[in-house]
Structure 1
């Protein structure tokens, strides 16, 4: 409408008219009159062919055309050609009013027909109306061109119908998607239901197209998740809308359908949903999806259905990864999952829960068949896995929980299955264990699991306490450094030894958080007390395996402005060897900053001097289980003496643990051990007290 207003208002400007009249005197008189009223006359002609040529050249806004002209081309013929070729509006100005002439004149689609003689007011009114109608007509044609261009180039398919469902219009996108080539001449015979057969994308059932008059005015009906099976048989996922076409009286004249191809989006969405619920390595459902199915099964459980959860853990998986590499581990998981999946009862849910752990939810399996099923699973997994030149015997540990009225919490069910699996593995693997609430083994493990919440809460509330024990030079009893030790303060303010809670922390992967707490608070203590003493901090195997640990330590050193030379990290022999590459990397990074390292409890684990030579540590701590018996046991004496000598050959200083008597301390000094630590020197004490002792 804005376009129409703009074009119609432009008519007020000076219009350019052309006069085609066979009587020259009449033409000149008409020119004078028109110019008097402000019109511009572009030219005069009395010949039809000449008039066509002049119209092409001058492009006037309007032509006043007489019907009887000189030459072979009369006014009707000339007007028809001009309007068809140049869209210039025509007003016939003639003395002929017979029916035959009027019928011929209609072919030129004139904008007016004025009979001679005419009154000026009549002529000027006809001219003004013709110019206005011409402007409106041009605006509408321009609007139609724009609309046609939009409909032909839009990415959505557009189909319009009459009220009876016959197709009136299809744009090229709709033709391409439906496979139909729309024929204007046959549009009355083609129906929308033929062109657009719709089906539910899930069930593939037919979906009816709404009747045009069933759609409310100005309220389109939107649809999605529909499948268009086109003329070529292709399946296209579409979404879009149906809208009614109504006249000014709200009478429905037809239907317009706008739809778009969402097949690619649907495929991507399905892929994303699949990836979100499935394990990419094995193709099994993942932990989240398995938990959802377990939850659904439990909610539908009526107490009579024999449903069971099996939790599987591959026994030698870490050996495969360490010895053969992760590609071999991945291949083993794929083979095992394929073999198990092929032998599961219909309706079973089988998932990879993470790492080398799997879950099986078996429904409607009688209790008397459960043991046989577990034996079958053991047999399916048990194999000699060959990778290159390595052959590894593979088995599985299985924990079994039968769903009953007492196991209606999915979290509790998974926890119970995990308990049973752990105990099966503790029994040597390649076996299965049923969960029994009254079994002491389960009660003990449940007690360990309760430490998880307790330790997590203690971390959040800073319930840990730092202790220390000095390490002295045996030559003069001067303090070399102090080892940081950890205690836990319970709700009654009683101190709990680490031997009580560390096993649970290690089993449930809480040691990295505890180690970071110790590092952070030790560094804070050093900074606040301005201590210059060197401190030893113990690190667990889980922390050494954490590739982000070095970054964390570096950040804490910078935050508290600690000299790295004041820090010595202690790692056990077993921890170092089990995480050899990661341990070497961490030690190297920290040594570059100035920190030192001690290998703790050497002699209690692998006792491999080959490993020792490859570990860049400065201190070697002799295992206390040997140190404490050197006065009474020649083997222990020889062991300590040998390790001490090897340590010195490798350029390390040695530290003896468990120094509990003056005689023992003297023997170690005579043996050449560099440093000692134990009750004879000082019992562990709160860290804050050590500063007071040092300052005295």
Structure 2
């Protein structure tokens, strides 16, 4: 069920950004989407429109999501509408299920998880409605049967024959309905509903069993390629054939199910984790060795797997499946084709979940311009003047506190939104040049990801043109690690901007194993000696020798040198004797808001 155009979904959240994200993530499925920003509005919509499914935020001012759920379930008209809760904390889930919720999704909402769960519950709801309609038909059939018996008492032989035939048809229909309510139509495996029933039984009897229970979730990598290139019929066929391969790897007591799109789940018991991992590896090997043929094309798929040992930390079936899905997602984040094990990677999974919650907050901070620019002066050793400064970003969070780069930059890099931060900082920095003295230069850090973008150079040149800025006032700082990660793109990036007058600085110099080699390959103007060599330089002879070596090589190529992380006057005095061009650090200048810095600079 990937086309949801015949279904109506009501999304309820007091945060309009969350509603916009949900709408974007559901757009490929083409449902009719209704929205409400508070509980009362949501109830009004349900009475007027009667949606097929509700996505409901738990924590809302006024009437909470839990109160809305109770009201929906108390109304005979809306009681059967499935409700999926949206929550930023799994602590709310127990009460969410107790008031009638069928599932929950942890914010920030993952697009694949949202689409899969919405499809699953709409499919289940539609099946239940079909069952109700069938039961009405069966009830009507019983009434007709009774009437026929009364009307045909004189024709007992024929009546009995007809009655037996209709009873047999009814039993056959009931058997088919029972099968379809517990099995996936494509693979004939258990569906998610049946899996949850089986897991509930297994977890209830776990104390009487000497072996340990395990749940393995399997997700086909790049399954979409088959659907896009060969169509959904081919997609269904590969799922059917893979289900047969999976069955061939299981023992008779194992429980296998297709729980969504291209996701399969297997419950089994094993003596310990070692045997469990061995079994999962065998399943993985069988699935990845399977070759699917369709109309002359051949396909092989790697699979991402998440293995969970069911121990005392798993408190419910829904919790178990949620943990398995998150653990499988870790394999996806690694690039696919991996097995992630929950009892080994639990801390990493939890950390990633915490980081993912920061993603929408960072996006919101960008939209609301809460990324603030600070600058740190760069001192010239020749005349102790300040004609350069480095731009440092800070993020003002929801409480108004300024958070350092370490709070949000690593998350932005991991989840690929650093490009948006780079564009924001470049835009604000080039605009700020108007408030600074003529020829004053700002050094702006950019990521390797931004450098690799096709329109990166055009974006910078456009900013310089629109702000009538002198390109020589912009120094672009590139870390040694980001330059190495995409050397060809970095070389081209520098070669296109340098003729305009922009300068380039290689930051964190000396941390790589081939640092000097990149001085030959990159047309840079400045190297910034990494702080690990500058700290304690006045007492550490090795660090001093390293700095002297870097300065000598740089000077041989007419490259200026900046020593950063200068924290003491003793270090400053020593570094000034080593033919270094610029000094930077907290011992010389504490970073300050760029507007304050500009104002203070004009009064120096």
Tell me the TM-score normalised to structure 2 length. Answer: 0.53
Q: In 2 relative to 1, CA 424–617 (structure 1 residues): closer, same or farther, beyond 3 Å? A: closer
- Would you say 1:418 and 2:337 are equivalent positions? no
2:218 to 287, 294, 310: 310
With 603-612 and 469-478 compared, the bigger mean Cα shift is at 603-612
1:396-415 equivalences under 5 Å are: 398-400=305-307, 405-406=317-318, 415=326
1:595-623 CA deviation, whole Å, 9 max, x = no partner? 01000001112343222210111100001
Q: Which residue of 2 aligns with 1:164?
A: none
Provide the C-alpha distance between the structure 1 equivalents of 2:581 and 2:369, rounded to a whole number of angstroms: 36
2:494 to 564, 584, 587: 587
Cα distance, 1:293 vs structure 2: 9.1
Q: In 2 relative to 1, CA 681–377 (structure 1 residues): closer, same or farther, beyond 3 Å? A: farther
Cα distance, 1:381 vs structure 2: 9.7
Q: Which residue of 2 aligns with 1:433?
A: 341
Provide the C-alpha distance between the structure 1 equivalents of 2:515 and 2:370, rounded to a whole number of angstroms: 38
2:460 to 553, 572, 582: 553
Q: Which residue of 2 aligns with 1:38?
A: none
Provide the C-alpha distance between the structure 2 equivalents of 1:568 and 1:634, rounded to a whole number of angstroms: 32
Question: Larger Cα Rg: Structure 1 or Structure 2?
Answer: 1
Cα distance, 1:377 vs structure 2: 5.1
Cα distance, 1:415 vs structure 2: 4.7
- Would you say 1:519 and 2:426 are equivalent positions? yes
Q: Which residue of 2 aligns with 1:652?
A: 559
Can you give the 5+ residue segments of structure 1 that lack an aligned partner in the other structure?
1-286, 315-336, 352-358, 384-394
Provide the C-alpha distance between the structure 2 equivalents of 1:434 and 1:365, rounded to a whole number of angstroms: 15
Cα distance, 1:554 vs structure 2: 1.4
Cα distance, 1:480 vs structure 2: 3.3
2:591 to 684, 689, 696: 684
Provide the C-alpha distance between the structure 2 equivalents of 1:596 and 1:501, rounded to a whole number of angstroms: 27
2:510 to 600, 603, 607: 603
Q: Which residue of 1 aligns with 2:411?
A: 504
Q: Which residue of 2 aligns with 1:301?
A: 193
8 Å CA contact 2:220–2:263 kept in 1: the answer is no
Q: Which residue of 2 aligns with 1:7?
A: none
Q: In 2 relative to 1, CA 293–489 (structure 1 residues): closer, same or farther, beyond 3 Å? A: closer
1:635-665 CA deviation, whole Å, 9 max, x = no partner? 1111111111111112210100111122211
1:463-521 CA deviation, whole Å, 9 max, x = no partner? 11100001111122111311000111122221111112211111111110111110111
8 Å CA contact 2:304–2:328 kept in 1: the answer is no
Q: In 2 relative to 1, CA 363–659 (structure 1 residues): closer, same or farther, beyond 3 Å? A: closer
Q: Which residue of 2 aligns with 1:366?
A: 268
Cα distance, 1:413 vs structure 2: 7.0
Provide the C-alpha distance between the structure 2 equivalents of 1:435 and 1:587, rounded to a whole number of angstroms: 46
Q: In 2 relative to 1, CA 373–557 (structure 1 residues): closer, same or farther, beyond 3 Å? A: farther
1:254-286 CA deviation, whole Å, 9 max, x = no partner? xxxxxxxxxxxxxxxxxxxxxxxxxxxxxxxxx
8 Å CA contact 2:446–2:477 kept in 1: the answer is yes
- Would you say 1:534 and 2:358 are equivalent positions? no
Note the aligned Cα RMSD (angstroms): 4.0
- Would you say 1:376 and 2:288 are equivalent positions? no
Cα distance, 1:632 vs structure 2: 1.5
Provide the C-alpha distance between the structure 2 equivalents of 1:381 and 1:654, rounded to a whole number of angstroms: 56
Cα distance, 1:405 vs structure 2: 4.3
Cα distance, 1:574 vs structure 2: 0.8
Provide the C-alpha distance between the structure 2 equivalents of 1:496 and 1:510, rounded to a whole number of angstroms: 17
8 Å CA contact 1:421–1:432 kept in 2: the answer is no
1:483-502 equivalences under 5 Å are: 483-502=390-409
8 Å CA contact 2:217–2:266 kept in 1: the answer is no
8 Å CA contact 2:331–2:338 kept in 1: the answer is no
Provide the C-alpha distance between the structure 2 equivalents of 1:596 and 1:668, rounded to a whole number of angstroms: 24
8 Å CA contact 1:340–1:377 kept in 2: the answer is no
1:79-137 CA deviation, whole Å, 9 max, x = no partner? xxxxxxxxxxxxxxxxxxxxxxxxxxxxxxxxxxxxxxxxxxxxxxxxxxxxxxxxxxx
Cα distance, 1:373 vs structure 2: 4.2
Can you give the 5+ residue segments of structure 2 that lack an aligned partner in the other structure?
1-110, 125-191, 200-214, 223-238, 249-255, 290-301
Tell me the TM-score normalised to structure 1 length. Answer: 0.46
Provide the C-alpha distance between the structure 2 equivalents of 1:519 and 1:371, rounded to a whole number of angstroms: 48
1:33-48 equivalences under 5 Å are: none
Provide the C-alpha distance between the structure 2 equivalents of 1:624 and 1:453, rounded to a whole number of angstroms: 32
- Would you say 1:453 and 2:364 are equivalent positions? no
1:632 to 536, 539, 545: 539
8 Å CA contact 1:374–1:432 kept in 2: the answer is no
Greater share of helix: 2
Provide the C-alpha distance between the structure 2 equivalents of 1:591 and 1:603, rounded to a whole number of angstroms: 23
1:280-319 CA deviation, whole Å, 9 max, x = no partner? xxxxxxx9799659943894524124685335889xxxxx
1:181-196 equivalences under 5 Å are: none
Q: In 2 relative to 1, CA 379–474 (structure 1 residues): closer, same or farther, beyond 3 Å? A: farther
SS at match of 1:301: helix
8 Å CA contact 1:399–1:420 kept in 2: the answer is yes
Q: In 2 relative to 1, CA 490–373 (structure 1 residues): closer, same or farther, beyond 3 Å? A: same
SS at match of 1:366: strand
Cα distance, 1:531 vs structure 2: 5.6
Provide the C-alpha distance between the structure 2 equivalents of 1:456 and 1:360, rounded to a whole number of angstroms: 30
Q: In 2 relative to 1, CA 362–639 (structure 1 residues): closer, same or farther, beyond 3 Å? A: same
Cα distance, 1:419 vs structure 2: 3.6
1:578 to 465, 485, 494: 485
2:568 to 634, 646, 661: 661
